[in-house]
């Protein structure tokens, strides 16, 4: 055993005793709640050929907005997607409207407009390599960057 090992044990013992001398720790000192302010992503789904929010979509947006109410929202990327049921131009337009709808709803919740970046993918990639349609393309993907205030 080296001489430094007994010294480190002595230092640890002294620190432990000093903590005990100040009294028991409170719950707030022992338990730290995880912050809801951080990077997160989720999806908002739409009915076929629609850019209006469904009730479940509104509930999802409300939940995220409530959870992140105490956060500093620094960036929100909303990517609109569409299935391949229409023309590429129509699907791109629908994707853009979906992204705008989601951003507008967060704007009504008080989120800062300058933080938003909107993109649209249309129906690109809406058909899998084996030719199967991807119905879950009728959505927006939302990526949020946030930090505690």
Q: Is residue 30 part of a domain?
A: no
- Work out the pLDDT band at 45, boundaries 50, 70, 90: very high
SS3 labels along the chain: CCCHHHHHHHHHHHHHHHHHHCCCCCHHHHCCCCCCCCCEEEEEECCCCCCCCCHHHHHHHHHHHHHCCCEEEEEEEEEEECCCCCCHHHHHHHHHHHHHHHHHHHHHCCCCHHHEEEEEEECCCCECCCCCECHHHCEEEEEEEEEEC
Percent of all residues in the chain with a pLDDT value above 70, rounded to a whole number: 69
- pLDDT of amino acid 137: 82
Domain CATH number, residue 137: 3.30.1330.60
Is 19 part of a structural domain of the chain? no
Alpha-carbon distances of 133 from 46, 85, 96, 98, 125, rounded to whole Å: 16, 9, 20, 19, 9
Q: Which of 3-7, 45-49, 87-91, 100-104 has the lowest mean pLDDT?
A: 3-7
pTM of the model: 0.72
Q: Averaged over 44-50, what is the pLDDT?
A: 92
6, part of any domain:
no
Q: What is the mean pLDDT of the chain?
A: 81
Q: Could you tell me if residue 118 is inside a domain?
A: yes
| Position 9 confidence tier, pLDDT thresholds 50, 70, 90 | low
CB 62, CB 68: distance < 8 Å: no
Q: Which domain holds residue 126?
A: 40-148
In a domain, 119, yes or no: yes
pLDDT band at 99 (very low <50, low <70, confident <90, very high): very high
Question: Could you tell me if residue 22 is inside a domain?
Answer: no
pLDDT of residue 12: 46
Q: Total structural domains in the chain?
A: 1
- Across the range 90-115, mean pLDDT stands at 94
First to last CA, the chain: 48
Task: Please check whether residue 64 lies inside any domain of the structure.
Answer: yes
The answer as to whether 139 is a domain residue is yes
């Amino acid at each position: 055993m080296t001489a430094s090992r007994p010294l480190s044990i002595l230092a640890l013992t002294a620190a432990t005793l000093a903590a005990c001398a100040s009294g028991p720790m409170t719950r707030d000192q022992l338990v730290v709640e995880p912050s809801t302010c951080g990077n997160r992503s989720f999806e908002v789904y739409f009915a076929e050929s629609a850019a209006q929010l469904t009730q479940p979509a509104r509930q999802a947006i409300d939940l995220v907005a409530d959870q992140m109410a105490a956060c500093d929202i620094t960036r929100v990327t909303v990517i609109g997607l569409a299935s391949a049921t229409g023309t590429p131009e129509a699907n791109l337009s629908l994707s853009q409207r979906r992204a705008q709808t989601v951003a507008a709803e967060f704007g009504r919740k008080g989120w800062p407009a300058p933080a938003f970046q909107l993109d649209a993918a249309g129906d690109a990639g809406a058909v899998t390599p084996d030719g199967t349609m991807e119905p879950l393309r009728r959505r927006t993907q939302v990526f949020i960057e946030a930090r505690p205030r």
